[in-house]
Amino acid sequence: MEEIKKYVEENKERFLNELFELIRIPSISSLSEHKPDMYRCAEQWTKIMLAAGADRAEVYETEGNPVAYGEKIIDPALPTVLVYGHMDVMPVDPIELWNTKPFEPVIKDGKIWARGADDDKGQAFMHAKAFEYLMKSGKLNCNVKFMIEGEEEIGSPSLPKFCRDHKDMLKADVILVSDTSMIGRDIPSITTGLRGLAYWQVEVTGPNADLHSGIFGGAVANPINVLCKLIADMQDEKGHITIPGFYDDVLEVTAEERAKMAKAPFNLENYKKSLDIKEVKGEEGFTTNERTGIRPTFDVCGIWGGYTGEGAKTVLPSKAYAKISCRLVPNQKHEKIAKLFKEYFESIAPDYVKVKVDYLHGGPSYVCPIDLPAYKAAEKAYEEVYGKQPVPVRSGGSIPIIATFEEVLGIKSVLMGFGLGSDAIHSPNENYPLEQFFNGITTIPLFYKYFGEIMKK
């Protein structure tokens, strides 16, 4: 480990400069105007792979954004690690809440501040530099493949087909991913569960034009009022989702497992304080960690309609919209939930409005067994760098593609995340501590070391 640390120390400025080049490309996948940036980003990634020592690296077209793929095959007989990451980032609004420009990375207070600093440019880039170290030091003991996609933040719509089309090329013993976080900077953890996701846009139409709220108000249904009522009616007083059949496939977690989960360090007062909330709020009968780890959710991610400008405009609008997402837990099928949601929303919509439900995307949940050889290797790597065994954690987040990898490629993933809860991913002022970035580059080569050893046995 000392040798790796020395290499990181000697190259840290260059590492940061290279990462910053990547961050400066505003690769927002949900906005079509950034399509050219996705290609610039993919090209940049192939350069990074080749510079680090890949035999070949190419930009692959998909039906959507491109995939950057590269590989170093040292011996087909050796185990193969497939590194997965994503080059795309979330939108940056509300832009006015950023303290710095989102695509001009700045180092301050020991952190990198920028969109993508953590999620996932910063974390994916650690793998490139770990690979570079292994090449330079002659210690690479596995074949390495990199698959960096450009649609993770919009649900990876094109990657399943890419995987099916390139099944042979992507053959590997494990997929290694850094796109999650640790419990704390001194509490390493490995994410062993991910929630699934279903995401809809709904549209409620009242009258066929915006109306004068005086002349028509009181006599014609206001689609915003109606949308609010529909949303309110989709959860009951106990925080349960009222969609019939929604919980049918939820795997209830045993009391024993819940007791084990409850041992994870967690301070509710600090949690509330850090979010500046008086009380937490969730499904009755579950703790905060259970609510995010093992229970599904119903969140309105966006809502709009009517007059939203400065001052007062009296209007009875024609339309109201919402973007709604449900996080799903293992065994819930997002396709089935999508159908149940649509049927229910349409069934409770009153006849004085029209409703439209569009399913934007979804993905399955995932569980990683803690006796997987690659998990064991990751465990040892973290332990060597952090001095303690990492805690296995069920995360509330979703990386839908992880479950798809298992389904399509038949390969399990190990989620070696180095993010922190305070990194503000998906929010203004996203950041990534330098300590985590450099620790990541130090830990990953150790994973290869132990993985190679375990697989040799």
Residues numbered 229-258 forming contacts with a second copy, rule: CB under 8 A? 229, 231-233, 235
DSSP 74-104: S-TTS-EEEEEEE--B----SGGG-SS-TTS
Q: Which two tokens stand for residue 435?
A: 């300590």
Q: Is 216 in the site for a second copy (CB under 8 A)?
A: yes
Strands 80-86 and 174-177 turn out to be parallel
Q: Is 280 in the site for a second copy (CB under 8 A)?
A: yes
Torsion of CA 395, 396, 401, 405, to 10 degrees: 40
Shortest distance in whole angstroms from residue 63 CB to a second copy: 15
Shortest distance in whole angstroms from residue 51 CB to a second copy: 32
Rounded to whole angstroms, the Cα distance separating 92 from 90 reads 6
Shortest distance in whole angstroms from residue 85 CB to a second copy: 18
Q: Is 110 in the site for a second copy (CB under 8 A)?
A: no
Q: Which two tokens stand for residue 148?
A: 């960096």
Q: Is 360 in the site for a second copy (CB under 8 A)?
A: yes
Torsion of CA 149, 303, 347, 221, to 10 degrees: -150
**Residue 80 or 395: which CB sits closer to a second copy?**
395
Q: Which two tokens stand for residue 23?
A: 């961050």
DSSP 361-380: EEE--EE--TTSHHHHHHHH
Rounded to whole angstroms, the Cα distance separating 152 from 90 reads 9
Q: Binding residue for a second copy (CB under 8 A) from 1, 3, 31, 252?
A: 31
**Residue 169 or 303: which CB sits closer to a second copy?**
303
Rounded to whole angstroms, the Cα distance separating 431 from 102 reads 10
Shortest distance in whole angstroms from residue 278 CB to a second copy: 5
Shortest distance in whole angstroms from residue 440 CB to a second copy: 19
Q: Is 266 in the site for a second copy (CB under 8 A)?
A: no
Q: Is 94 in the site for a second copy (CB under 8 A)?
A: yes
Q: Is 344 in the site for a second copy (CB under 8 A)?
A: no
Binding to a second copy in span 367-396, by CB under 8 A:
395-396
CB 121 within 8 A of CB 19: yes
Q: Is 30 in the site for a second copy (CB under 8 A)?
A: yes
Shortest distance in whole angstroms from residue 172 CB to a second copy: 26
Binding to a second copy in span 298-337, by CB under 8 A:
298-317, 320-323, 325, 327
What is the CA 239 to chain-centroid distance, rounded? 24
Q: Is 285 in the site for a second copy (CB under 8 A)?
A: no
Q: Binding residue for a second copy (CB under 8 A) from 107, 220, 391, 408?
A: 220
Q: Binding residue for a second copy (CB under 8 A) from 77, 219, 255, 259?
A: 219
CB 115 within 8 A of CB 89: yes
**Residue 300 or 454: which CB sits closer to a second copy?**
300
Shortest distance in whole angstroms from residue 94 CB to a second copy: 7
Rounded to whole angstroms, the Cα distance separating 126 from 42 reads 16
Rounded to whole angstroms, the Cα distance separating 189 from 386 reads 10
